[in-house]
Amino acid sequence: MAIARFPSLVIDCPDATALATFYGSLLDWKVELSPGWADVRADYGQCISFQQVEGYTPPRWPGQEIPQQTHLDVMVDDLDVAEAAVLELGATKHEHQPGTSFRVFLDPAGHPFCLCVD
């Protein structure tokens, strides 16, 4: 049985509203706005999220001096149960936990990802 479902790519940016509006128009997906955060969502449920970051510096692809800035959010039914499962798989819980409806972890390579509940 899967630990999580509905992965959502989260992209750091200087203006979440502007970037969501761009991708919403590009994909013809619904734009949902919150302060500092925006989602574009397909009718079938797929979602791309945009997280506003103060002092944002764009990536310098293909180099890695300033790497790409994304993370994965996945939906879970129970944060405690999912946390135990991802820790068993080799994730590490990050010491900075800025919210109550999600938890931040690092994958075995150090990439951040979030377990989220509705």
User: Would you give per-residue pLDDT tens digits along the chain (118 residues)?
Assistant: 899 988 889 999 999 999 999 999 999 999 999 999 999 999 998 999 999 999 999 888 788 898 888 999 999 999 999 999 999 999 999 999 999 999 999 998 888 999 999 8
**CB distance 41 to 34 below 8 Å:** no
Element (H, E) at 80: helix 79-89
Q: What is the residue extent of each domain of the chain?
A: 5-116
CATH topology of domain 5-116: 2,3-Dihydroxybiphenyl 1,2-Dioxygenase; domain 1 (3.10.180)
Confidence at residue 64, expressed as pLDDT on a 0 to 100 scale: 87
**CB distance 77 to 4 below 8 Å:** no
Confidence at residue 63, expressed as pLDDT on a 0 to 100 scale: 86
**CB distance 36 to 77 below 8 Å:** no
